[in-house]
Amino acid sequence: MTTIHEPVLLQEILDGLNPQTNQNYVDCTFGGGGHSLAILEKVKPSGQVIGIDWDPTVVQNSQNENLILVNDNYRNLKKIINGLGISKINGILLDLGLSSDQLGSGARGFSFQSEGFLDLRYDPKSDRPTAADILRTYSEKELLEIFKNYGEEPLAWQITKKIITQREQGEFIETADMLVQLVSDEYRKKYRSRSKHNPATRVFQALRIAVNDEFGNIKNVLPDAVNLLAAGGRLAVISFHSGEDRIVKHFFKKEAIKEEPKIKIITKKPIIASENEIKMNPRSRSAKLRIIEKI
């Protein structure tokens, strides 16, 4: 398996989940497998890790007989685990979003430089709309909401207007670089200078979240994850987006204050990356880790 993805908050995940020999774990977002492989080391010789990833290009590391890889949406966690017949789950991890492997690959429009079709689905076989479909068919109001709510995009209005005007002239955005060009033009018009960061980052993030219904996936998986955990088992969620973190935080709070709570909150405040990790891996800058324990 070749990966360039650096697992974020790895030691904090190991400390928080505390995997022990012969226990079973689920990594709902396998990606490059960095977290899974570290957990596998701790649960050997007979503990298992079930690694789930919606992206079919994430391939099985056949070297490890204690790793079961499943190509599916983690939203189907309950069905996946029941189907495998594993009854005791000691810990579950969600490391949300996109991996560096996907960002770097240029496939499916994840990379800004790509001239490839603007798909942005983790699984190109899924029945979700592609990003190009959304840009071609969603109403002005829907596009504006996506850019504002999922991307916190300051030029959401200008970018939406431009997409709509072009559409009316029969011009449709089909590739990643066409979208980058449109967003860069709007930024140049407004600010007259080129910024250091690619101004299209937020628009791509917003579309990716909408295409894959990422907030819906998180809302659906959290209650099932809690139900699947054995007593004393832990659920750890790393998010990179304030909207995702809000969903996780509210769900944990709501569950923890119930009359007969099933969980207790382990991280009163989210754990963030150390200065050192941020220096080594800038992607970790926006990571927030929240952990609960099943009672």
Ligand X SMILES: C[S@@+](CC[C@H](N)C(=O)[O-])C[C@H]1O[C@@H](n2cnc3c(N)ncnc32)[C@H](O)[C@@H]1O
Is 7 near ligand X (CB under 6 A)?
yes
CB of 80 to ligand X, least distance (A): 10
Between 55 and 153, name the residue whose CB sits nearer to ligand X. Answer: 55
| CA distance linking residue 278 with residue 283, whole number of Å | 7
Report the C-alpha gap between 166 and 182 in whole angstroms.
Answer: 10
151 binds ligand X (CB under 6 A): no
Q: Which stretch binds ligand X (CB under 6 A): 54-62, 142-150, 192-200, 227-235?
A: 54-62
Task: Please report whether residue 95 would count as binding ligand X according to CB under 6 A.
Answer: yes
Integer CA distances (angstroms), 229 to 245, 259, 280, in order: 21, 19, 33
Listing DSSP states for 142-206 in one string gives HHHHIIIIIT--TTHHHHHHHHHHHHHTT----BHHHHHHHHHHHHHHHHSS--SS-TTHHHHHH
Piece of the chain touching ligand X by CB under 6 A; list 91-99, 125-133, 141-149, 254-262: 91-99
CB of 292 to ligand X, least distance (A): 19
For ligand X, the closer CB: 161 or 219: 219
Residue whose CB is less far from ligand X, 162 or 219: 219
Burial class of residue 192 (count of CB atoms within 10 Å of its CB; 0-12, 13-18, 19+): exposed
H-type alpha helices, 192-273:
201-211, 214-228, 242-256
Least Å distance, CB 48 to ligand X, is 17
CB neighbour burial string for 127-154, b if at least 16 within 10 angstroms, e if fewer = ebbbbbebbeebeeeebbbbbeebbebe
- Token pair, residue 89, equals 């789950």
Does 5 sit near ligand X (CB under 6 A)? yes
Verify binding: residue 19, ligand X, rule CB under 6 A.
no
Tell me the CA distances in angstroms from 116 to 107, 240, 275, one per residue in order: 7, 26, 36
CB–CB of 199/157 below 8 Å? no
Please tell me whether residue 122 binds ligand X under the rule CB under 6 A: yes
Residue 25 touches ligand X, criterion: CB under 6 A: no
- Which residue in 52, 131, 132, 248 binds ligand X (CB under 6 A)? 52
Q: Find the binding residues for ligand X in span 203-222 (CB under 6 A).
A: 212, 217
Strand, helix or coil at 292? strand
Stretch that binds ligand X, among 25-33, 39-47, 263-271, 287-295 (CB under 6 A): 25-33
| Residue closest to 197 by CA, chosen among 121, 205, 31 | 205
Q: In whole angstroms, how close is the CB of 93 to ligand X at the nearest point?
A: 7
String marking each residue 60-79 x if it binds ligand X according to CB under 6 A: -------------xxx----
The reply to whether 16 sits near ligand X by the rule CB under 6 A is no
Binding residues for ligand X (CB under 6 A): 5, 7, 29, 31-35, 52-55, 58, 73-75, 95, 97, 99, 122, 212, 217
